[in-house]
Structure 1
Amino acid sequence: MVSERVERTPVNGAGLPPERVVAAGSAARVLVAATARALRGDDCGDLGHPGPLSRLTGAPEPVRRAAAVRAAGRAALTTDEIAAVDAERVAGWFTGQYPDRRYPGVLLGSPHGAAAHLAAALGVPWLPAGFELAGQWARGAVDRPDAAYAHGATLAARLLDANPRVHVRQVHCPASRGAAAGAAVTFAVRWRTLPEAYARFLSDRLEPAAPVLLLHDARTWPVRDRGDGHSFQAGCPAGGLDPVDFHPDARALGRVLRAAGGEETRWTAPEVTVAGAFAEHGVESGFEHDARSFGDRHGHPLHRVVVPQPDALSAVTADLYRGWLRRAGKTGNRLVVECGRLLDPGQVVRAGLVPYWCENATTRRVAGVEWWLAGSEPFSSVDVLPEPPGLRSPAYAGLPQWLAVAGFGRRRRALDRGAARGYPVASVPTRRATEVLRNQPCDLPAPPPLRMAEALTALRDAGAHQGLLVC
């Protein structure tokens, strides 16, 4: 069960339990859990608990910042725990969550909520090309990315000693993590080869000639990479700002740092050695090469889906769902707009809804769904589940923008009050989406599973207008 609390687990020779390693609430963890439950016929009602900040919605900002720092430090791994991480064991934990049966295909790659919905419609698993973990930074500072890099390099070396087949991308982003960025360093651990657990899963669970879809987040970011397996980026696409906004003279950075308890005058980012590297959720070339080689050897064709922005895959998947529902005799006129961890693919299928997933609550991502709705055939109902980001930032959408999204519904326009209460500083667990979607009327039976050939055709045809590349 994905929970906002992670208990301390003693280090032992068998390695650290994956439940402790993979950051609670991280995209890969939540999406695997949600997809696996959908394939089992379950919902996400057991995923996530209110975080420690949920009781401090009305507290002064200094109190909230201090609580965020304490919570991040408790959840992060110690140096010894990081040395005990076994990335192969994490891969086995991901595959072990899926029902033991054969599948007509599989989705691999970058985390994206629409991929979970696509997997649920196809009746196939989704497996990430990496995972996120956090390491303790006892004397950290949110406004010192240079110090974060130095500390992270030491931790990364311990991780890489035990896991030479991964790349460690460190992300220091106060825009997306607030004060917590000064209490823990965040690592996006990406497999440079196909994990053995994945290879076994594909060998044992795929039907003959079943295709493999590899999703690749093609967003780029300036990084420092010396070729030692550890790279660093200040800021990230999910923060809603541009790389130029992380310059000490940028007004946006000043606002972000002051909100997180820091000062822009202390900000000195490490040098950039690669101006256009793939950001933290990119797929390592070795992982893709191994997946393609595996497919060639075992008769499983690999199709690469390059996603330039999250909105593109969200829009194509929503359109795909609408057509899938209508071919089954349903209206396809009821939309749910999900955000971040607030999703439940199983309940979406049960209710016969069209899902559109926003990566987060940034203004850009919310504007993406507005543009898509403006160009789409109208929906009779629009339900919106805005995940509060848990902090204040100029990059995040306000409730009026979310209300504007709901306003596209012709008859029903609903913004979830539970998620809106205390927005943007509240904390809402994944199960909130399940609680809301359970109240939607059933539209059973569910359509027959979508065929992979149909999905590929839609991704190629409709995706071309959104910038998707399928090859």
Structure 2
Amino acid sequence: MAEGPFEPHRDGKPGRVVSERGKVGPVHKVHEGLVAADAGLAGDRVVTSGSVARVLVAAAARALRGTDCADLGHPGPASRFPGAPDPVRRAAVTRAAGRVALTPAQVADVDAERVASWFVDQYPRRSYPGVVIGSPHGAAVHLAVALGVPWLPVGFEMTVHWAQGAVDRPGAALDHGAALVARLLGGNDDLHVRQVHCPASRGALAGATIMLAARWRTLPAAYRRFLGDRLAPGAPVLLLRDARTWPVVEVGQGHSFQVGSPASGLDPVDFHPDSHALRQVLRSAGGDAARWEPPQVSSPSGYAEHGVESGFELSARDWAGRHERILHRVLFPRPEGLSAVVADLYRRWLRMAGKTGDRLVVECGRLLDPWQVVRAGLVPYWCENATRRSVEGVEWWLAGSEPYSSVDVLPEPPGVRSPALAGLPQWLAVAGFGRRRRALDRTSARGYPVASVPTRRATEVLRAQPYDLPAPPALTVAEALAVFRDGGTHQGLLVS
């Protein structure tokens, strides 16, 4: 029988989960005890603090240990200047980013294999009835927790100093990033690096740091060891792929570049020099649209930064075949589709266990806590971010769903201003779908959209929900796939 998703501290070593709460020292410092001599940078130094994949692994690992996310995250500098003029706030955010970003010299010390090991080492050492691997998505983590299995990302994000950077010079960003990527790939030829220059989602940070989204081209050795040692005999592998596309500049072997991002809530045309939306974005970030000259696009429809490399999928299939496992693949063209299907799955799962399944929590970005969700018997719907597009997705889903008695909403302030963002009235409209309880977290709303809220805020809110234990027995992958095939078609999901 599959283990339940919550067996607190079963391995007796709860302290081994790496905390996101510790302060980061000077950029040249490597955390003592985390890395051997001359072995490169430790994983927690390489992966961008606060990046979605990092937060999701930490949240999933804690849930499988039977703990919540109370120690995750700390308020950024924007939380201390919510009412300050934009130049003051931008300067504070830029200084804070400079303290944690990698230096150009450190890029050569990045070892992607160490990063993979750091991810898998956060999970309890026990046998699992399966594993979920794929693009970073909060609903994928909720799915993994309901299955009682780990979630592993197919890549990770890094930010690197750009001393003479400018938010309105994407061509200069590409030139600077090319040298960094060449240095990175010199020691990590198993990576493809997508450089993303997006002032709409990163604000002033796009002019102070270079963002590199590294994706493994094959299943890393640490993942192969983890699957071989920790998966029960016959346990399946579930691969979830973000199928969104975006115009791409192919720079060279292993390096590609994109201006903007689907996560910005804007469309590729909005990053054209004549775009009114771009002028608004750059003005807010301290830039000038007159200097905006994006590089020539090589491919109008490549997979966006959170896609899965085809070689990675082939490698995972090869591993599964050689070890007599089944690999199932789920492609989702929109994050909202996967969120809706997993929410429907949770409702059915809770009701099969005799619970109401009528209490919904709408999470956003890094504001989530899978353990508290199951502890309270809640249905989770995850919004990728605070854009109108994401919020409209949950509104449409709620409009077509059986009503919920209560709806709690946790809007994560993005820390930037953009014409694509949802206003607080739209978030309040989501909460208004609750028949008896309609709650919008006031702390998250205070200073929205330019403040910042730590992940542990979600834990604080969800801890106030009444207990609804015991947790339902863990789902099987077969049960989850049956729901995906039944309800995912109209959401555009492709299950194979």
> With structure 2 as the length reference, what TM-score do the two structures score?
0.94
Residue equivalent to 1:422: 447
- 1:78-128 deviation digits (Å, cap 9, x = unpaired): 112111000000000000000000111100010000011001100000000
Question: 1:73: Cα distance to partner?
Answer: 2.0
Q: 1:335 aligns with which of 338, 348, 360?
A: 360
Alignment partner, residue 38 of structure 1: 63
Report SS of the residue matched to 2:482.
helix
Please state if 1:463 is matched with 2:482. no
* Structure 1 counterpart of 2:20, one-letter code: V
* Distance in 2 separating the partners of 1:206 and 1:161: 33
Structure-to-structure mapping, 1:340-351, within 5 angstroms: 340-351=365-376
The residue identity in structure 1 corresponding to 2:140 is A
Displacement of 1:10: 3.1
Report how far residue 271 of structure 1 moved.
1.1
5 Å-filtered alignment, 1:34-183, equals 34-183=59-208
| Secondary structure of 1:404's aligned partner | helix
Q: d(CA) in 2 for partners of 1:194 and 1:70?
A: 36
Q: What's the secondary structure of 2:448's corresponding residue?
A: coil
Q: For the Cα contact (< 8 Å) 1:5–1:51, is it kept in 2?
A: no
- Alignment match, 1:401: 426
Mapping of residues 354-433 of structure 1, within 5 Å:
354-433=379-458
Q: Is the 8 A contact 1:73 1:137 kept in 2?
A: no
Query: Which amino acid in 2 is paired with 1:197?
Result: A
Amino acid at match of 1:161: G
Q: Could you list the runs of 5+ residues in structure 2 that have no partner in the other structure?
A: 1-18, 31-36
The 8 Å contact of residues 167 and 205 in structure 2, kept in 1 or not, is answered as yes
Which stretches of structure 1, 4 residues or more, deviate above 4 A after TM superposition?
none
How far apart are the structure 1 equivalents of 2:485 and 2:52?
Answer: 25
Paired residue secondary structure (1:62): helix
- Give the partner amino acid of 2:281: V
Could you tell me which amino acid in structure 1 is paired with residue 196 of structure 2? V
1:3 deviates by 4.0
How much identity, in percent, do the aligned residues show? Answer: 72
Q: Distance in 2 between matches of 1:3 and 1:54?
A: 16
SS at match of 1:337: strand
Q: Which residue of 2 aligns with 1:26?
A: 51
Counterpart in 1 of 2:474? 449
1:266 alignment partner AA: R
Partners in 1 of 2:378 and 2:217 — Cα distance? 37
Residue aligned with 1:400, SS: helix
In structure 1, C-alpha distance between the alignment counterparts of 2:348 and 2:22, rounded to whole Å? 36
Pick the aligned partner of 1:10 from 26, 29, 39: 29
1:319 aligns with 2:337: no
RMSD between superposed Cα atoms in Å: 0.9
2: distance between equivalents of 1:270 and 1:415?
42
Question: How far did 1:428 drift?
Answer: 0.1
**In the TM superposition, what whole-angstrom CA distance separates every residue of 1:194-239 from its partner, at most 9, and x where no partner exists?**
0000000000001111110101000000011144211100000111
CA distance in 2, matches of 1:80, 1:132: 17
The offset of 1:2, in angstroms, is: 1.9
CA displacement 1:244-276 (0-9 Å, x = unmatched): 100000000000000000011100111111111
Task: Give a deviation string over 1:360-417, Cα, whole Å, max 9, x none.
Answer: 0000000000000000000000000000011111000010000000000000000001
Q: Deviations over 1:330-365 (max 9, x none)?
A: 000000000000000000000000000000000000
Matched residue type, 2:172: A
- What is the DSSP-based 3-state SS (H/G/I as helix, E as strand, rest coil) of the residue aligned with 1:171? strand
Deviation for aligned residue 1:6: 2.7
Aligned equivalent of 2:223: 198
Contact kept in structure 2, 1:65 and 1:179, CA below 8 Å? yes
2:251–2:257 Cα contact (<8 Å) kept:
no
